[in-house]
């Protein structure tokens, strides 16, 4: 393939700047020493990070988001693994419909999901419960867990499992000792992606969140809608760095390109 010429690289530099500019700006402003939104021209200061530690609202929201993420990702993974096995193992009538159905939340606008869940909760009188919120997140993140798990179950050759069976292993042993280790990366990767998606979820959660169950993105959104102050940039910085670390782990584990694009390098 041709190498990139000067203009290509120039375009590329502009593009990358465009992509990281908002993130860099947010992080820069978090280190300001002033009391209002500004660049840290007087030198870096950690006052807003310290202020974060005293901000109970944000801390509660953060803890809730983490708990929510862990719960929904785990539940989603537990549901997705057997479903993925069913889809890749058996050619049963309705297989396409099942797959499409379980992946459908990807095609439904978050706003619509939010309204639908809110309506459902009010009819069933279960608004405000943590587990209800968890279930909504499970619906939203299961497609991600399923896709990644499917990617590793579909690629599995039948022969290895047949070999285990012919050597006397029971179906469960064959699954546990031969299949599971080989789909482990897909499963873990799917879990991590589900966690990230749950943690980041905003639009749908805005509808179903209550004062007792406010996630971090919702808390940030509420705050931003009123006024933007450096505290929110400090929160954002923490999120950005946290996500970067998770990304590195995800890349090391499964390969980020497989996660985001669906195919390996």
Q: Which residues pair with 213 in a beta bridge?
A: 210
Q: Which stretch binds other proteins (CB under 8 A): 40-48, 52-60, 66-74, 76-84?
A: 76-84
Q: Select the residue interacting with other proteins from 64, 87, 194, 231 (CB under 8 A).
A: 87
Site membership for other proteins, residue 246 (CB under 8 A): yes
Site membership for other proteins, residue 209 (CB under 8 A): no
Q: Select the residue interacting with other proteins from 110, 128, 185, 229 (CB under 8 A).
A: 110
Size of the site for other proteins (CB under 8 A): 100
- Interacting residues with other proteins between 120 and 179 (CB under 8 A): 120, 123, 135-136, 138-139, 142, 146, 153-154, 156, 158, 161-162, 165, 179
Find out whether 146 and 190 touch, Cβ atoms under 8 Å: yes
Find out whether 130 and 213 touch, Cβ atoms under 8 Å: yes
Q: Minimum distance from CB of 230 to other proteins (Å)?
A: 10
Q: Which stretch binds other proteins (CB under 8 A): 48-56, 66-74, 79-87?
A: 79-87
How many Cα atoms occupy the beta-carbon half-sphere of 26 within 13 Å? 18
Q: Minimum distance from CB of 200 to other proteins (Å)?
A: 4
Q: Which residues pair with 210 in a beta bridge?
A: 213
Q: How far apart are CA 148 and CA 246, in angstroms?
A: 16
Q: How far apart are CA 163 and CA 138, in angstroms?
A: 36
Closest-CA residue to 227 (of 32, 35, 21, 52): 35
Q: Select the residue interacting with other proteins from 57, 111, 176, 184 (CB under 8 A).
A: 111
């Amino acid at each position: 393939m041709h190498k990139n010429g000067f203009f290509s690289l120039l375009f590329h530099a502009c593009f990358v700047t465009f992509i990281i500019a908002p993130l860099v700006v947010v992080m820069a402003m978090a280190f300001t020493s002033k009391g209002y939104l500004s660049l840290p021209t007087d030198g870096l200061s950690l006052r807003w990070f310290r202020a974060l530690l005293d901000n109970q609202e944000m801390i509660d929201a953060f803890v809730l988001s983490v708990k929510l993420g862990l719960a929904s990702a785990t539940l989603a993974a537990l549901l997705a693994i057997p479903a993925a096995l069913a889809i890749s193992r058996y050619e049963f009538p309705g297989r396409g419909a099942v797959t499409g159905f379980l992946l459908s939340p990807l095609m439904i606008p978050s706003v619509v999901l939010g309204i639908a869940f809110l309506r459902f909760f009010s009819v069933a009188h279960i608004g405000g419960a943590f587990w209800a919120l968890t279930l909504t997140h499970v619906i939203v993140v299961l497609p991600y867990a399923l896709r990644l798990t499917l990617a590793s179950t579909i690629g599995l050759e039948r022969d290895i499992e047949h070999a285990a069976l012919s050597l006397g292993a029971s179906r469960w042993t064959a699954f546990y000792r031969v299949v599971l280790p080989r789909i482990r990366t897909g499963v873990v990767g799917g879990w991590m992606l589900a966690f990230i998606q749950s943690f980041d979820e905003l639009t749908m959660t805005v509808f179903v969140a209550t004062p007792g169950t406010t996630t971090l993105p919702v808390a940030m959104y509420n705050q931003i809608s009123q006024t933007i102050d450096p505290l929110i940039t400090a929160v954002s910085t923490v999120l950005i760095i946290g996500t970067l670390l998770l990304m590195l782990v995800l890349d090391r584990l499964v390969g980020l390109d497989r996660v985001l694009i669906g195919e390996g390098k």
